[in-house]
Amino acid sequence: MVLEMSVSDVRAKRRVLVLLHELGWSAESGSVRTAHPFSIVVNDVPDADLATLRRVIATADPGATTIGITRPVAAVAA
């Protein structure tokens, strides 16, 4: 699934992206749902890791909020 979150500011965005890449996640800047300037997208998140990933981001930036969670169409059909 894809997790989209917004963070507090540009420094938090940089800090979260670096942390996620260090932990091996495929994360990028931007969002398909909103034009929020401080949004990030984390791709290929297994269901079992979603809560942990959200906690990691919230620890790095307590002001982070979830924009959306998108499941691939194939996963929804299964």
Domains and CATH numbers, the chain: 2-63 (3.30.70)
Query: What is the DSSP annotation of 2-23?
Result: EEEEE-SSHHHHHHHHHHHHHT
State the pLDDT confidence band at 76, using cuts at 50, 70 and 90: low
What's the mean pLDDT in 51-68?
A: 90
Facing residues of 34 across strands? Answer: none
pLDDT at site 38: 86
Cα-based distances in Å from 76 to 68, 70, 73: 16, 10, 5
Residue 77 has pLDDT above 60, yes or no: no
Phi-psi domain of 30 (left: phi exceeds 0; alpha: psi -120 through 50; beta: other):
left
pTM to 2 decimal places: 0.77
